[in-house]
Amino acid sequence: MIPIVLDIEASGFGAGSYPIEIGAVLRSGRSVSYLIRPEPEWLHWSPEGEATHGIRREQLEREGLPVRYVAQALNELLKGEVVYTDAWGVDSSWLSLLYEHAGMNRAFRLESLNQIMKEKQFDIWEETKQQVIQESNLHRHRADTDAVILQKTFLRSFW
């Protein structure tokens, strides 16, 4: 089984935070990423978060896509699919916020990657993830590359 994996970068954590980038990797290995232009009432910004993901709010204002565009693009890409994340608690709330502001319903289901992991995967997950990161030379803490890392880690630890 090759899972579709989604990852979200956000303005920070806790109350007032919102999604700023959503990335996904499909079963084929193709990845997509969408920078999101903040809604006018989305004001929370964490300098610590920016230091982690490297995305500046000014960049989102300039290059980010409207929430409705991102929600529609995700629906078209993932319609009817079960999509997995390693941070279901926060990612599901950020997705809900995106779709609420877009005035749309989500056309796919989000589930925790833990639900499809075998017991042995939990034991070797962190070690395998570090190997994948070192071998892939991908820039961490960007949504699409983090999704790719998660999918590769799942596949390598599954077998």
Domains, the chain, ranges and CATH? 4-158 (3.30.420.10)
Per-residue pLDDT at 37 exceeds 90: yes
**Beta strands across the sheet bearing 31-35:** 31-35, 19-25, 4-10, 82-85, 109-112
1-10, 32-41, 65-74, 135-144: least confidently modelled range: 135-144
Per-residue pLDDT band for 138 (boundaries 50, 70, 90) equals confident
Q: Give the model's pLDDT for residue 55.
A: 94
Q: Give the model's pLDDT for residue 140.
A: 77
Per-residue pLDDT at 139 exceeds 90: no
Model pLDDT for residues 88-135, shown as the tens digit of each residue: 999 999 999 999 999 999 999 999 999 999 999 999 999 999 999 999
Residue 8: CB partners within 8 Å, gap ≥ 6?
A: 19, 21, 22, 23, 85, 87, 90, 91, 94, 95, 143
- Extract the tokens encoding 36: 């999101």
Max CA separation in the chain (angstroms): 46
| End-to-end Cα, the chain, rounded Å | 10
- Over the Cα atoms of the chain, what is R_g? 15
The model's pTM is: 0.94
Q: Give the model's pLDDT for residue 156.
A: 95
Q: Give the model's pLDDT for residue 141.
A: 81
* d(C-alpha 92, C-alpha 83), whole Å: 11
Mean pLDDT of all residues in the chain? 95
Q: Give the model's pLDDT for residue 115.
A: 97
